[in-house]
Amino acid sequence: YFDSDAFILPDKSGQRLKRLETMWQLEALGKWHPYFFLNEPKAAKAYPFPNYPCVHGSHVLLEPSSDVSARYRGILRDPPNPAFTSCGGKDQKVLSFLFPHHAALPKDLWRSFKYEGEECDVVLGEVPAVDEIHLYSNQYTSNQPFWGGDCTSCILNGKTCKYPNMFTEACHKKIIELWWERIMQLPSSTANMCMHHLGANLNNVDEACYNK
């Protein structure tokens, strides 16, 4: 499970893939493992819903099973009250309800970086200091969204955008380039659908950009 505003950074060394493979080899939940730590349950917002530990993180690793599939189908037919837990967000509530006995992994195994529109130099360099970047799109809305907004075509073409924006650092440009590189690797129909729902215009260079 991946949030739509999260992506894995390029992996030239292959070390990131090895760490992903390590996750699949972990013991089943319930057995002690040095990588595991448990999240404490949070109080429910409304009676009679019980306490649930909240699923945190921009991605969740799930092993496919018929039981998991049945639980997903069941919750689609009979959704729980959205107030059943204090976990934030719509997807976090559902995932926390479906998987109340989950464990989390420390960041030294999988280095996830939360980006909210400010410091982001960790993505620069030949070998970025993080494995995955979580963009928290709903929290970064000043002038233009994290993926470039009306300035997307300018940034991808190395031009200065005429519209107000906060893309002032080299790492901002890097994040936008990485984001669109990932989208353009999708099948064309999927990429076009993403662009449509984002409201992205990649062909407004003359309108949106200064010539320099």
Please tell me the least confidently modeled range out of 41-45, 83-87, 198-202, 207-211. Answer: 41-45
- Residue corresponding to tokens 């306490």: 51
pTM, entire model: 0.67
In which band, very low, low, confident or very high, does the pLDDT at 103 lie, cut at 50, 70 and 90?
low
CB-based contacts of 172: which residues, under 8 Å, 6+ apart?
120, 166
Q: Cβ(178)–Cβ(7) under 8 Å?
A: yes
Which stretches of the chain are DSSP H helices? Answer: 15-24, 66-77, 90-98, 152-156, 170-184, 188-198, 205-208
The strand pairing partners of 134, in sequence order, are 6, 114
In which band, very low, low, confident or very high, does the pLDDT at 136 lie, cut at 50, 70 and 90?
low
Q: Cβ(113)–Cβ(175) under 8 Å?
A: no
Q: Cβ(6)–Cβ(134) under 8 Å?
A: yes
CB-based contacts of 122: which residues, under 8 Å, 6+ apart?
113, 128, 129, 130, 171
The residue with greater pLDDT, 43 or 123, is: 123
Structure tokens at 212: 């320099």
Report the alpha-carbon distance of residue 89 to residue 82 in Å, rounded. 10
Instruction: Quote the pLDDT of residue 50.
Output: 62
In which band, very low, low, confident or very high, does the pLDDT at 13 lie, cut at 50, 70 and 90?
confident
CB-based contacts of 7: which residues, under 8 Å, 6+ apart?
132, 133, 178, 179, 182
AA letter at 184: M
Per residue in 27-57, pLDDT (tens digit) is 655 555 555 555 565 554 555 666 667 776 6
Within 125-176, strands assigned E span 132-134
Report the alpha-carbon distance of residue 200 to residue 192 in Å, rounded. 10
